[in-house]
Amino acid sequence: MKYSTSFAKTTKIAPHDADSANARFLVQAGFINQLMAGVYTFLPLGIRVLDKIKNIVREEMNALGSQEVYMPTLHPKEHYLKTGRWDVIDVLFKLEGAGGKEYALGSTHEEIVTPLVQQYVKSYKDLPVSVYQIQDKFRNEPRAKSGLLRGREFSMKDMYSFHLTEEDFEAYYEKAKQAYLNVFHRCGIDAIITEASGGVFSKYSHEFQTPTECGEDLIYVCNTCQYAQNREITELKDGDKCPKCEGTIKETKTIEVGNIFPLKTKFSESFGFTVAGEEGKQVPVLMGCYGIGPSRVMGSIVEVHHDERGMIWPKSVAPFQVHLVSLNAKDQTIQEKVIDVAEGFYQDFVKAGVEVLWDDRVETSPGEKFADADLIGIPLRLVVSEKTLAEEAIEWKLRTEKEFRLVPLQDIMEQVETFVSE
Ligand code: ATP
Ligand code: MG
Specify the fold of 322-421: Rossmann fold (3.40.50)
pLDDT band at 37 (very low <50, low <70, confident <90, very high): very high
Q: Which pLDDT belongs to residue 178?
A: 98
pLDDT band, residue 311 (cuts 50/70/90): very high
Q: How far is the CA of 188 from the centre of ligand 1 (A)?
A: 19
Q: Are 179 and 57 in contact (CB under 8 A)?
A: no
Q: How confident is the model at residue 25 (pLDDT cuts 50, 70, 90)?
A: very high
The answer, yes or no, to whether any atom of ligand 1 lies below 6 A from the CB of 158, is no
CATH 3.30.930.10 fits 3-307, yes or no: yes
Q: How much of the chain exceeds pLDDT 90, in percent? A: 94
- Give Cβ neighbours of residue 165 (< 8 Å, ≥ 6 apart): 286
CB-CB contact of 266 with 147 (8 Å): no
Cα of 206 from ligand 2 centre, angstroms: 8
Encoded amino acid at 367, one letter? G
Say which DSSP state 4 is in.
G
Give the domain ranges of the chain: 3-307, 322-421
Confidence of residue 303 (pLDDT cuts 50, 70, 90): very high
Q: For position 198, what pLDDT does the model report? A: 75
| Residue % of the chain over a pLDDT of 70 | 99
DSSP3 helix / strand / coil % (the chain, rounded to 5): 35, 30, 35
Alpha helices in 252-364 (DSSP H): 266-270, 294-304, 332-352
Q: How far is CA 286 from CA 152, 207, 418, in A?
A: 30, 20, 47
Instruction: Give the predicted TM-score (pTM) of the model.
Output: 0.97
- Dump pLDDT digits (tens) for 131-177: 999 999 999 999 999 999 999 999 999 999 999 999 999 999 999 99
- 203 C-alpha to ligand 1 centroid (Å): 18
Q: Is 156 in the pocket of ligand 1 (CB under 6 A)?
A: yes
> Binning pLDDT at 50, 70 and 90, where does residue 17 land?
confident
Classify 370 as helix, strand or coil: helix
CB atoms near residue 123 (< 10 Å): 12
Cβ of 37 closer than 6 Å to ligand 1, yes or no, is no
For range 210-236, the mean pLDDT: 95
3-state DSSP call for residue 116? helix
Atom of ligand 1 nearest to the CA of 144: 27
257 lines ligand 1 (CB under 6 A): yes
